[in-house]
Chains A and B, each alone.
Chain A
Amino acid sequence: MFEIEYGDSGEVICRGRLDAAQCTTAETFMDGLEGASTLDFNELEYISSAGLGILLKTQKRLAGSGAGLKIINVNNHIYDVFRYSGFHAIFDIHAKE
């Protein structure tokens, strides 16, 4: 199961497991983002390379207008996937406390 929606403060809430089967849902939502955006991963349990591809594509598009993604509340497993992928250098990533 994967869910993505706007939170009360305008942040994007991601929940569940973002695997290759859920990418259309994520991509459709992310394609609608404009300007600097915050993704809250507090309830995101899992992401695979398919999800990483969507994040990268969105980041590149937003960078064209000088904006970007801030990703907060990242669990330690996903954080390590970001680290192995070099995403810590091209995204503003904040681990879950």
Chain B
Amino acid sequence: MQRHFPRHLDSLSPLYEFTEQIMAASDVAAGVRFPVHLAMEELFVNMVRYNPQVDTDIEVRVTVPDGGTVTVSLVDVGGVEFDVTKQRPVDVDAPLAERTPGGLGIHLIQNLVDTLRYEYQDGRGEVIFTKGSGTENV
């Protein structure tokens, strides 16, 4: 199922409802739904924040073939290239005094989803991730 969402944070609630409805209809476990919502939000917010000059909607596609693995695709047309699969180390063992807000979003995505792919060509960026029912680490 596919839908376009306006490029602002007010879209997060309808984005959640859209995704939740699809996963609920396929009886996806709560342990899978949570990381899917989290990765979806982090990716969507990145597209919103890093491309303020762009006014095109963001295309989101969610599929759950055979009630198993959830596959999500987010397409951003006109945005800058930002490869979310690149390692951006965050020292999660650092003491409080050395911790700074920020950077955790990509770290969480990379740790919570099963597969993560990024493609960029001619101004069109697409992120595709999967999360399966056999990997309920969250």
Contacts and interface: CB of A to CB of B under 8 A. Distances in A.
Interface of A: 17, 19-21, 46, 48-50, 52-54, 56-57, 59-60, 63, 77, 80-81, 84-86, 89-90
Contact of B138 (A17, A80, A86): A80
Contact of B101 (A46, A57, A80, A86): A57
26 contacts: A46-B34, A46-B37, A48-B38, A48-B41, A48-B105, A49-B42, A50-B45, A53-B102, A54-B101, A56-B100, A57-B101, A60-B97, A60-B99, A63-B97, A77-B30, A77-B34, A80-B138, A81-B38, A81-B108, A81-B138, A84-B111, A84-B112, A85-B104, A86-B94, A89-B93, A90-B95
Nearest to B137: A80
Given A21-B10, A21-B13, A84 B107 contact: yes
A90 B99 contact: yes
B9 A20 contact: yes
Contacts of B91: 86
A63 B102 CA distance: 19
Residue of B9, B95, B97 with most partner-chain A CB within 10 A? B9
A77 B31 CA distance: 7
Interface range on chain B: under 10, 10 to 19, 20 to 34, or 35 or more? 20 to 34
A63 to B, nearest CB: 6
A85 B13 contact: no
B19 to A, nearest CB: 12
Question: 8 shortest A-B CB distances, which residue pairs?
Answer: A86-B92, A53-B101, A49-B105, A21-B9, A77-B34, A49-B104, A80-B138, A90-B96
A53 B34 contact: no
A80 B38 CA distance: 12
Given A19-B41, A49-B105, A85-B104, 11 more contacts: A20-B41, A20-B45, A48-B105, A53-B101, A53-B102, A56-B101, A63-B96, A63-B97, A81-B138, A86-B91, A86-B93
Nearest to A88: B92
B131 to A, nearest CB: 13
Contacts of A52: 101, 104
B12 interface: yes
Nearest to A23: B9
